[in-house]
Amino acid sequence: MNGPTSGDYLYLREVVFSHTQNVLEPSHDHLFQSRLVGLLHRHSLSRLDELVHLLRAAKSPELERAVAEAMTINETSFFRDCRSFELLRTEVLPKIIEDCRSTRRLRFWSAASSTGQEAYSLAILICENFPQLSDWNIRIEGTDVCAEVVQRARQGRFHRIEMNRGLPARLLVRYFDHTGESWVIKPEVASLCHFRQANLCGQLPFQECFDVIFLRNVILYLSLETRQTLLSAMHRLIRKKGYLFLGSAEQPPDRSLWTTVLSGGTCHYRPI
């Protein structure tokens, strides 16, 4: 029985890179089999090398995109790295609210929002701690390259197991409705959040500037060059007094564009 060759894996890595700019290491080749099992099934294929054959023959951007999206790592949770949210609550939001008192308008972006927990955590934090903002014009944008997670984020429906990760019980009962094994975000929180599919390495879908951008746990999947291009684009899309948050394990951005601020046991970045 044939199996995928090293050339097949190289081809799959190139397909992923060309659609999402995610760099997959050869040491992770085994993940193709487990992540693409659903796609193989949908195309009535049983082996990875058959899929590679189809990809090479069909040259179908839809099929290639499906492969690339299936290979994205969508790991997330509510209030992930809670120090960033605590800093938002205690320092960042009070300052931004003061700065925006005249416009009463706040813009947040959860870039690489996955299934939506990051954006919803921010919305819950605002509803819970800043009732004075209830009549402000607030939008939390969530974007992700993977259509399936964007669809899930829009539904705002989470399984019991997802709810057990990072969400205090008090907030769970206050901001979600319970239906069977799932919890659905309440409309007052959902209405702040807007999700759409977008590739951070393509044409960015916004022209307006943001007060806070979360770009967390995604640049680690990108090449150094792609990161630099993306962080320059982010620099153009953040307000002068705005705040950028990266994942706790991610490298600080270019020092000529961003100042690193250490506070509350975590760092965030301000545009220069």
Ligand X SMILES: C[S@@+](CC[C@H](N)C(=O)[O-])C[C@H]1O[C@@H](n2cnc3c(N)ncnc32)[C@H](O)[C@@H]1O
Please tell me whether residue 218 binds ligand X under the rule CB under 6 A: yes
Q: Which of 178, 174, 171, 135 is nearest to 157 (CA)?
A: 178
Residues 134-193 that bind ligand X (CB under 6 A): 144-146, 149
Please tell me whether residue 221 binds ligand X under the rule CB under 6 A: yes
Burial of 7 (0-12, 13-18, 19+ CB in 10 A): exposed
| Binding piece for ligand X, criterion CB under 6 A, among 5-13, 68-76, 170-178, 256-264 | 68-76
The residue among 66 and 218 lying less far from ligand X, judged by its C-beta, is 218
Please tell me whether residue 8 binds ligand X under the rule CB under 6 A: no
Residues 69-108 that bind ligand X (CB under 6 A): 72-76, 80
Q: At 201, list the tokens.
A: 């390495």
161: amino acid identity, one letter: I
64, 118, 141, 211: which one contacts ligand X (CB under 6 A)? 118
The residue among 48 and 226 lying less far from ligand X, judged by its C-beta, is 226
Strands (E), the chain: 105-111, 137-144, 157-159, 176-179, 182-185, 193-197, 210-215, 238-246, 258-263, 266-271
Dihedral of CA atoms 119, 205, 153, 128 in degrees, nearest 10, equals 20
Burial readout 133-147 (b: 16 or more C-beta within 10 A, e: otherwise)? beeeebebbbbbbbe
The residue among 68 and 126 lying less far from ligand X, judged by its C-beta, is 68
The residue among 25 and 75 lying less far from ligand X, judged by its C-beta, is 75
CA distance 31 to 27: 9
The residue among 200 and 267 lying less far from ligand X, judged by its C-beta, is 200
199, 229, 248, 266: which one contacts ligand X (CB under 6 A)? 199
Q: Which residues bind ligand X (CB under 6 A)?
A: 20-22, 72-76, 80, 112, 114, 118, 144-146, 149, 199-201, 216-218, 221, 247
